[in-house]
Amino acid sequence: MESAEKRIEEIIAILSEANSSSRTALKHETPLQILVATILSAQCTDEKVNQITPSLFQKYAKPSDFASADKQELEAEIRPTGFFRNKAKSIINASKKIVEDFGGKVPDNMEDLVTLPGVARKTANIVLSSAFKKAEGIAVDTHVRRLSQRLGLSKEKDPDKIEKDLMKIVPKKYWLDFNYMLVNHGRKICMARKPLCPQCGVKHLCPSAKNFYSEAELNP
């Protein structure tokens, strides 16, 4: 098996062709909306988040709306996404900081975004790529973490360390799309419990495929 540096261009070429979508599945129209939706998506499916955000964003259109929200009321509105108390706290406090420190506008750079309560690099990367088309890193969610390890792109478990490994080998021109490539592939093919390795376009580049299937099953 070649090194990750030598395999990455072929992996990207195959996954980009197989996964045409290069944007988040979270529905949004503004930087604030993708910020809130991403916070809500923690330990929750995008589909569930998309079910509650239309009415939520109609009621809370600006950072000042969320900043002045009644916490218990907001908790009730986002309850279906799970961990609703912590999420409501993060959304309200992040919105307050946006109003007080950033003139009511969601920051468009990593340095400022990660100062917002409840916003780590993963969320910041998604906001930057989805709202501002900026690539300051690679968002590492559960799919990216799993596939990075299976494909031998990183041996780390910590998302920030995985991101550093990916940034070393993934050409920067692909940073905006790389998260979406792995997320889409992780949902359709490389699932957590039983990946569909025989159907995988990058199985010949994956050191983990043999852990799930025999050579005969991989290459019938």
Any idea which residues carry the catalytic annotation?
122, 141
Burial per residue of 182-198, b for 16 or more beta-carbon CB atoms within 10 angstroms, e otherwise: bbbbbeebbeeeebebe
DSSP structure string for 88-157? HHHHHHHHHHHHHHSTTS--SSHHHHTTSTT--HHHHHHHHHHHH---SS----HHHHHHHHHTTS----
Residue type, 21: S
- CA separation for the pair 146, 31 (Å, rounded): 27
